[in-house]
Structures are given as structure tokens and as C-alpha cells.
Amino acid sequence: MTNDQRKPVMAGNWKMNINHLESIAYMNKMAFSLIDADYARTEVVIFPPFTDIRSVQTVVDADHLSITYGAQDISAHDSGAYTGEISGSMLKKLHTKYALIGHSERRAYHNETDESVNAKVKAAIKHDLIPMIAVGETLDIRQGGNAVEHTLNQVQGALKDVRSNYVSELVIAYEPVWAIGTGEVATPQDAQDMSIAIRAKVAKLYSQDVADKVRILYGGSVKAGNIKAIMEQPDVDGALIGGAALDPDEFLRIIRWPDQP
């Protein structure tokens, strides 16, 4: 089972789906479905589009929900002439807890590199947001036998010059690109093996104590039907869920992973 030091996280990444009105209906459904026992066992995180964050905040605050939320990206800059960007201080003002950084879709479609990911990690920390750093290999890289090396390089690049007290709090999401939105899920053993490798890398860069605290999630075609086997892996501390999190009922089943077949 999951290590006692690390509370499991189930994070729903809505990507560019669900508008600000729909987000209220979604959050209301979560509000009346989730009970204290769910929150006690699992941290529930939502990554809505920027335009929904205020709506999500309003429901969370009004109903005193224990759901946390994050932004799908963050600017590396503090403020100024950066048209279209959203700063860490703007996100913090909306009580945003996390910033998802380096998602493979941003690396692929917005030319994000390990350097820009690192700059965003530092911006998040500067504004008191917890980075959730996404890493993972493409199919070509996996077939070439370099999945571990590639993923660990991304981890090292993202954490360059980041101090250990911040690293122990953050979350790393291993999302093999070939498993995202394809229905092709990595085996639970693949997820475990990469989580072990990531944790060992963090131990080498920092310390075993820091590595034992970092939460490592798996992402890529997670659904209610496969979450239990993934969560049975001792180094997998939760999941980052795309498509299946767009349906609140399915996301609720994932949040209640011990009850699934």
C-alpha cells in the first residue's frame, strides 16, 4: 500500500474542457458526493482552465470544501508586458494551491523545455504555490530503451537549484506520453518501476528523507477500472487524470479507488 508518510492524491486535469458555468455544476456534484472519509483518505485536486478558477474557488469557499485546486500552467514572470500570461501572484490571490508545470501537451505544443519548466517551478515556489511537475517519455524514447534516462533528466532539469525544503512538498506526475488520451495504460508495474527510479533520483539529488516525502503520481488513461491496481503499487501515491475526470461520477469512483474492482 501507499507509504504512510504520503497522503494519496487524485488530481483531475480538465485541460481545455468545462467552462466556468459548467464548472459550478461539477463542483456542486463533488460537494454533495464527497464525505469526510473520502477527504481523510485522499487529497482531491482539480486543475480547471484559468477562466474557471474563480468559479471553483467560489464553490470551495462557500461550502468549506476540502477540495484543493491548481492552475494548468503558470508564467515564469512576476508581472508586466507578457500578453496572455497568468502570474503566480494572480493565482495565489485565488487561493490556488498547485501549479501544474511541464505537462507533455505544453512541452509538445508550446515548446516548453526543461529550462522553462525549471523557471516556472521557481516562479510557483516564489508565490507560495506547490509545483506539480509532469514528466514522461514518448513512445519512440520508450521503444529506444531510454524511458528512465529521459524521465530522470526531466526531473533533474525541473529541480535545478531548487532547495530541498521545497522539493519535499512538491508532486511529480509521471505521465508517459504514449499513454495519454490513448486508452493505452502503462502496467501498474511500469508505473511502480518509474516511480522507484524517480524517487531514487530525488534521493541522489537531495536525500532519502526528501525522496520519502515527495508524492509521485501516475497519469495516462487512468479510469475507475484500472485505478486500484495502480494504487496498489507502493511508490505510486496517486494519479493525474485527464479524460476520465471530465465526468464527475467517474472521477468520484477513481477517488474511491479502494472500492473499485
Q: Which stretch binds ligand 13P (CB under 6 A): 107-115, 157-165, 210-218, 219-227?
A: 219-227
Site residue total, ligand 13P (CB under 6 A): 14
Three-state secondary structure call for residue 121 = helix
Which residue in this structure is represented by grid cell 525549471?
118
Report the residue from 241, 252, 254, 255 that binds ligand 13P according to the rule CB under 6 A: 241
At position 158, the amino acid (one-letter code) is: A
9-48 binders of ligand 13P (CB under 6 A): 13
Report the residue from 243, 252, 254, 256 that binds ligand 13P according to the rule CB under 6 A: 243
Helices 248-255 and 20-33: crossing angle, nearest 10°? Answer: 40
Q: Decide whether 197 or 240 has the Cβ nearer to ligand 13P.
A: 240
Report the residue from 158, 219, 224, 227 that binds ligand 13P according to the rule CB under 6 A: 219
Residue 68 found at the interface with ligand 13P (CB under 6 A): no
> Grid coordinates representing 186?
502503462
Residue 238 found at the interface with ligand 13P (CB under 6 A): no
Spatial contact of 229 and 1, defined as CB atoms under 8 Å apart: no
Q: Which stretch binds ligand 13P (CB under 6 A): 24-32, 117-125, 145-153, 241-249?
A: 241-249
Which residues 6+ apart lie within 8 Å of 168 measured at CB? 206, 209, 210, 213, 214
| Catalytic residue, candidates 43, 105, 137, 175 | 175
Which residue in this structure is represented by grid cell 515548446?
111
How many alpha carbons fall within 13 Å on the CB side of residue 148? 13
Spatial contact of 49 and 89, defined as CB atoms under 8 Å apart: no
86-115 binders of ligand 13P (CB under 6 A): 103
Verify whether residue 103 is a known catalytic residue.
yes
Which residue in this structure is represented by grid cell 531548487?
162
CA 213 and chain centroid, separation: 15
Residue 70 found at the interface with ligand 13P (CB under 6 A): no
Q: Which stretch binds ligand 13P (CB under 6 A): 30-38, 117-125, 136-144, 234-242?
A: 234-242
Report the residue from 71, 125, 152, 240 that binds ligand 13P according to the rule CB under 6 A: 240
| Catalytic residue, candidates 77, 85, 103, 150 | 103
Q: Decide whether 49 or 210 has the Cβ nearer to ligand 13P.
A: 49
DSSP-assigned letter for residue 186? P
**71: nearest Cα among 132, 136, 20:** 132
Q: Decide whether 73 or 210 has the Cβ nearer to ligand 13P.
A: 73
Report the residue from 144, 181, 234, 258 that binds ligand 13P according to the rule CB under 6 A: 181
**Using alpha carbons only, what angle is made at residue 175 by residues 230 and 237, rounded to the nearest 5 degrees?**
40
Positions touching ligand 13P (CB under 6 A) are 13, 103, 175, 180-181, 219-222, 240-244
Catalytic machinery residues: 103, 175
